[in-house]
Amino acid sequence: MRRGIAASALVAALAATLAACGSSGSGTSSASGPVTITYWDTSNATNEMPNYQAVVQKFEAANPNIKVNFVNVPFDQAQDKLQTAMGSKGAPDVFRSDVGWTAAFAKAGFLTPLDGTPALSDPSAYQPSLIKQAQYQGKTYGVPLVTDTLGLLYNKALFTQAGITTPPTTWDELKADAATIKTKTGVDGFEMRAGDGYYAMPLFYGEGTDMVDAANKKITVNSPDAVKAITTYQSLFNSPGTVKADITTDSYAHMMDAFNGGKVAAIINGPWEITNIYKGSSFTDHTNLGIAPVPAGSTGKAGAPTGGHNICVYAGSDAAHQAAAEKFAAFMTSADSESFIAQKNSTLPTRPDAFTADVKSDPGIAGFQQILSVAQPRPALPEYSSLYTSLSTNLGKIATGQQGIQPGLDATAQDYAKLLPDFAK
């Protein structure tokens, strides 16, 4: 599904007015016929989308007076396309929103609050931290659909061949293991996603910091702790047994092809890739996939970002379409639907009652469920998702040696000052 976080102009929405508000939305209806709502799906078209389509078909069968116009929008384009559509016309009545987009869309006035509606009749059914992540200024603007985090994915057979019996728990241990694997197997030990700020977050969290301190309105991306984090990050591309930084357009595919084919022993990634990994020659035996928490930094604590998606309802649709969209949101996020999606896509449900025995029998899901304890929710800062753009650009330069660590993070901090003028440097 992911996950180069897309560079986005979403922050422009924060000052926008809801030009399309009061329109009839993108669906159609008549006094005698069914309501047709438009749903924008942002899942991977090859391995995830068909299963979301199956859930939509179940919804239509159970609700004959509601038809769904299913539109798949590539994830890396969806943020900007939603921004444009909701700011003018042609917006979907309901859509699948990355958790990092929800607060910004809510601040812009694009979303309808779902508290007390059929979409969210029982908030306690969902993990509390995920409900909090769907909120802005005390109101809930999304229903949690799937959750995820980053973990250390590793090839158990290659680790065993190298004589390594347990996964590394620190970045230093990871580098040592990578060197051992290269020496004893001839295979690269580790590959890190380069030039993508999202994948660098475990390094920040491991030093007890973040890109910004939202609570105290302070930019921290170039602080001493951040420099320490990115010093470790840079070393992951230059140590024996680790793969050199790849910032080409196809770098993500290169990393996944290498891992799935047994040409690299470990990567950092999330559950959205599990079904694709299972298709790889190294993981026809699914139990060969090892899943562990991301390594810890000098604080001794591991941390990874909490990701996932919410189902959100457009505020510009008329009452009939909003009501149908809310009913659809409830169906998509029901225990039965989330359990079905989890079994088909190997993604993590957002509600405990969807973790059925069949769901937990998938070793990938079971593995990621065990490491959710190190997942760290993002602050409810509308601009937070946009912070990755500058960070990713400068991390790419740092990883490839085109820029020094402090100058690169200082440049990022300067960009943040423009985005967050009321934050102290």
* Rounded mean pLDDT, 234-258: 97
191 and 273 housed in the same domain:
yes
Q: Is 196 among the domain residues?
A: yes
User: DSSP letter string over 219-262?
Assistant: E-TTSHHHHHHHHHHHHTTTSTTBPPP--STTHHHHHHHHHHTT
Give residues with Cβ within 8 angstroms of 84, minimum separation 6.
none
Which of 10-19, 176-185, 294-303 comes out lowest in average pLDDT? Answer: 10-19
List the CATH number of the domain containing 129.
3.40.190.10
**Contacting residues for 10 by C-beta, under 8 A, at least 6 apart:** 79, 80, 83, 101, 104, 105, 385, 386
Residue 77, helix vs strand vs coil:
helix
Q: Is 254 found in the same domain as 201?
A: yes
Confidence of residue 27 (pLDDT cuts 50, 70, 90): low
Is there a single domain that holds both residue 186 and residue 268? yes
The answer on pLDDT for 21 being more than 50 is no
Within a domain: 4: no
310 neighbors 123 (Cβ within 8 angstroms):
no
User: Are residue 346 and residue 213 in the same domain, yes or no?
Assistant: no
Kindly state whether residue 424 falls inside one of the protein's structural domains: no
Q: Clarify whether residues 136 and 217 are in a common domain.
A: no
3: pLDDT confidence band, cut at 50, 70 and 90?
very low
Asked whether the beta carbons of 241 and 183 are under 8 A apart, the reply is yes
The whole-number pLDDT of residue 263 equals 98
Please indicate, yes or no, whether residues 177 and 293 belong to a single structural domain of this protein.
yes
Residue 20 pLDDT greater than 70, yes or no: no
Residue 279, Cβ density class (10 Å: 0-12 exposed, 13-18 middle, ≥19 buried): exposed
Range of the domain at 229: 151-305+382-419
Say yes or no to pLDDT of 1 above 80. Answer: no
For residue 86, CA distances in Å to 29, 120, 123, 321 come to 20, 22, 26, 15
> Which amino acid would we find at residue 96?
R
pLDDT given at position 6: 42
Q: Are residues 255 and 393 in the same domain?
A: yes
Q: Is-contact 59 68, C-beta < 8 A?
A: yes
Same domain, 247 and 126: no
- For 293-314, what is the HEC assignment? CCCECCCCCCCEECEEEEEEEE
252-to-202, 273, 302 alpha-carbon distances in Å: 18, 11, 23
393/414 same-domain check: yes
**29-60: pLDDT as tens digits:** 445 579 999 999 999 998 899 999 999 999 99
Task: Read off the pLDDT of each residue in 361-376 and give the average, rounded to a whole number.
Answer: 93
Measured CA angle at 403 (ends 400, 407), to 5 deg: 145
Strand, helix or coil at 103?
helix
Two structure tokens written together for 129: 């931290």
**Is 273 in the same domain as 189?**
yes
List the structure tokens of 416: 């943040």
Q: Could you say which of 376, 392, 411 is where a domain stops?
A: 376
Per residue in 56-100, pLDDT tens? 999 999 999 999 999 999 998 999 999 999 998 899 999 999 999
Task: Identify whether 3 is part of a domain.
Answer: no
The least confident of 185-194, 206-215, 374-383 is: 374-383
Please determine, for residue 241, whether its predicted confidence score (pLDDT) is greater than 50. Answer: yes
301 plus 316 within the same structural domain: no
**Is residue 5 a part of any domain in this protein?**
no
Is there a single domain that holds both residue 238 and residue 387?
yes
Given this model, what pLDDT does residue 26 score? 52
Task: Of 177, 131, 127, give the one whose Cα is nearest residue 154.
Answer: 177
The count of domains in the chain is 2
Give the DSSP H or E segment for 108. none
Give residues with Cβ within 8 angstroms of 166, minimum separation 6: none
